[in-house]
Amino acid sequence: MPYGMKALSCDPARVRGMSERLIVSHYENNYGGAVRRLNVIEEQLAGLDYASAPGFVLNGLKREQLIAMNSMILHELFFDGLGDESEPGGGLQKALARDFGSYARWRSEFVATGKALAGGSGWVLLCWSHRDRKLVNQWASDHCHSLAASTPILALDMYEHSYHIDFGAKAGSYVDAFMGAVRWSGVERRWTEIGAAR
């Protein structure tokens, strides 16, 4: 069963502080590229005789499958988080305060973790950890990095394709723009759906 591209869940012409050209290029080339690549990888894996395939072929293909899958999943979450300036609702804001000390402290950690990835690649993910039933800010330096057994509810893409067209090397300005464009209603919906709000 091939993987399909989801429609762009934000309006690329109305993401506060980012150009339509940047969003559309990001969606078509980087997200679309991951989905298309994943389908070809899946085909190759489907044709493999696992019992006789050399280990290095498996290591290569399974790693590339993980990169493409996570790139697909995280990009969908990233676009879904974009819109106009907003604030998290009371319930989620309380949960952030409970798990990080204060909402401001959460924001400060999330922003700084993004800025620390400037000039390289990676993600910052606000995740719900099912083991500890709490919110965690997760750092990633490539698509493969992910908190085990967690549900990410907000994703900040720090790959340079997320900002260079608009911001050049000014990764810090991009992180600030992102924080001013988070569509918190979607974040809360996800947080509620996984039962984390209880």
Is residue 130 within the footprint of a second copy (CB under 8 A)? yes
Kind and range of the H or E element at 24? helix 20-25
Residue 109 CB, nearest approach to a second copy (Å)? 5
C-alpha to C-alpha distance for 9 and 6, rounded to whole angstroms: 8
Structure tokens, 23 = 């969003």
102 vs 67, 78, 105, 175, 195, CA distance in Å? 34, 24, 5, 20, 22
Residues numbered 7-26 forming contacts with a second copy, rule: CB under 8 A: 25
3-state secondary structure of 135: strand
Beta bridge partner(s), residue 173: none
Which is closer to a second copy, CB of 106 or CB of 184?
106
C-alpha to C-alpha distance for 184 and 193, rounded to whole angstroms: 14
- What string marks each residue from 159 to 198 as x (binds a second copy by CB under 8 A) or -? xxx--xx--xx-----------------------------
> Out of 15, 23, 74, 187, which residue is the one contacting a second copy (CB under 8 A)?
74
Residue 184 CB, nearest approach to a second copy (Å)? 19
Give the binding-site size for a second copy (rule: CB under 8 A): 74
Residues numbered 35-64 forming contacts with a second copy, rule: CB under 8 A: 37, 40-41, 44, 50-51, 53-64
Does residue 61 contact residue 44 with C-beta atoms inside 8 Å? yes
- What string marks each residue from 136 to 165 as x (binds a second copy by CB under 8 A) or -? xxxxxxx-xxxxxxxxx------xxx--xx
3-state secondary structure of 153: strand
- What string marks each residue from 95 to 114 as x (binds a second copy by CB under 8 A) or -? ----------x--xx-xxx-
> Out of 33, 39, 84, 97, which residue is the one contacting a second copy (CB under 8 A)?
33
